[in-house]
Amino acid sequence: MITMVCPLCKNTSRRLFQKHGYWIRECEGCSHQFAEITHWEGYVDRIYGDHYFRGGGAGYPDYFNEEKLLVAHGRRYARLMSNYSKPGRVLDVGAAAGFILKGFEEMGWIAKGIEPNIGMVNHARSRLGLDVEACTLEEFRSSDQYDLICMIQVVAHFVDPRQAFRVAEQLTKPGGFWLIETWDRRSWTARCLGQLWHEYSPPSVLHWFSAASLRHLAREFELREVAHGRPMKWIRSSHAKAIAVDKLGGASLGRLILGVSSIFPNRLPVLYLMDDVFWALCQKSSFAPEQ
- Whether a cis peptide bond, with omega within 30° of 0, leads into 203 is yes
Residue numbers 1-20 binding Zn ion by CB under 5 A: 6, 8-9, 11
Dist. CA 226–CA 84, nearest whole Å: 9
Dist. CA 28–CA 12, nearest whole Å: 6
Phi and psi angles of residue 140, each rounded to the nearest 5 degrees, phi first: -65, 125
Q: Which is nearer to Zn ion, 32 or 241 (CB)?
A: 32
Name which of 111, 88, 87 is nearest 99 in CA terms. 111
Min dist CB 26 to Zn ion, Å, is 9
Element spanning 84, H or E: none
Q: Among the candidate windows 22-30, 84-92, 152-160, 249-257, which touches Zn ion by CB under 5 A?
A: 22-30
Min dist CB 188 to Zn ion, Å, is 24
Residue numbers 24-83 binding Zn ion by CB under 5 A: 27, 29-30, 32
Helices (H), the chain: 43-47, 50-54, 67-81, 99-106, 118-126, 161-170, 188-193, 211-220, 237-242, 252-261
Q: Which is nearer to Zn ion, 33 or 283 (CB)?
A: 33
Q: Which is nearer to Zn ion, 19 or 207 (CB)?
A: 207
Q: Among the candidate windows 21-29, 157-165, 180-188, 242-250, which touches Zn ion by CB under 5 A?
A: 21-29
Min dist CB 283 to Zn ion, Å, is 24
- The neighbouring-strand residues paired with 257 are none
Q: How far, rounded to the nearest angstrom, does the alpha carbon of residue 145 sit from its chain's CA centroid?
A: 21
Min dist CB 8 to Zn ion, Å, is 5
Min dist CB 31 to Zn ion, Å, is 7
Residue 190 has a CB neighbour count (10 Å cut-off) of 21
Q: Is 88 in the site for Zn ion (CB under 5 A)?
A: no
Q: Which is nearer to Zn ion, 216 or 230 (CB)?
A: 216
Residue numbers 196-215 binding Zn ion by CB under 5 A: none
Min dist CB 13 to Zn ion, Å, is 7
Helices (H), 171-251: 188-193, 211-220, 237-242
Min dist CB 29 to Zn ion, Å, is 4
Q: Which is nearer to Zn ion, 29 or 56 (CB)?
A: 29
Q: Which is nearer to Zn ion, 8 or 240 (CB)?
A: 8
Q: Directed axis angle between helix 67-81 and helix 99-106, to 10°?
A: 50
**Where does this chain bind Zn ion (CB under 5 A)?**
6, 8-9, 11, 27, 29-30, 32
